[in-house]
Amino acid sequence: MNNIELFHSLVHLAAIDNKFTDEEIRFLIQRAERWNIPSEEFEAALAGISTEGFSVKIPEKMEDRVVMLKEMIRLMAIDGVMAEPEKRLCAGASGRMEFTSKQFSQILDEVIAEA
């Protein structure tokens, strides 16, 4: 999975509760800068937001799945509020990525330890 696809997924995750917090916006800007996402691509991601029918594109490689899940968890936790739609999307994506609940817990613990 490339960074642009991951970025689009994160933008949609941030928008799934129908609002962007300041923390989520800062997080997305930081990721766009870190991953060299062009401003046109940033704008395209925002323009393409749709909370209905959005599905996360699951990476093929397990290492990419871990990166994606970690980024999703970081984004959900950034504003201190884990909205129910965010939790459902993350849980669904985790299941589709074929993580066991034990693996999910381990990844969650790693993200918390990094914070």
User: What are 37-60's pLDDT values in tens digits?
Assistant: 999 888 888 887 764 556 667 889
Rounded CA gap, 45 and 20, in Å?
14
- pLDDT for position 48: 74
Q: Please state, in angstroms and rounded to a whole number, the distance separating the CA atoms of residues 88 and 84.
A: 6
Q: Measuring CA to CA, how many Å separate 107 from each of 19, 24, 67, 100, 112? A: 26, 21, 10, 11, 9
Name which of 34, 100, 37 is nearest 66 in CA terms: 100
55 backbone dihedrals φ, ψ, rounded to 5°: -130, 145
pLDDT reading at 87 higher than 80: no
Q: Which two tokens stand for residue 40?
A: 């046109």
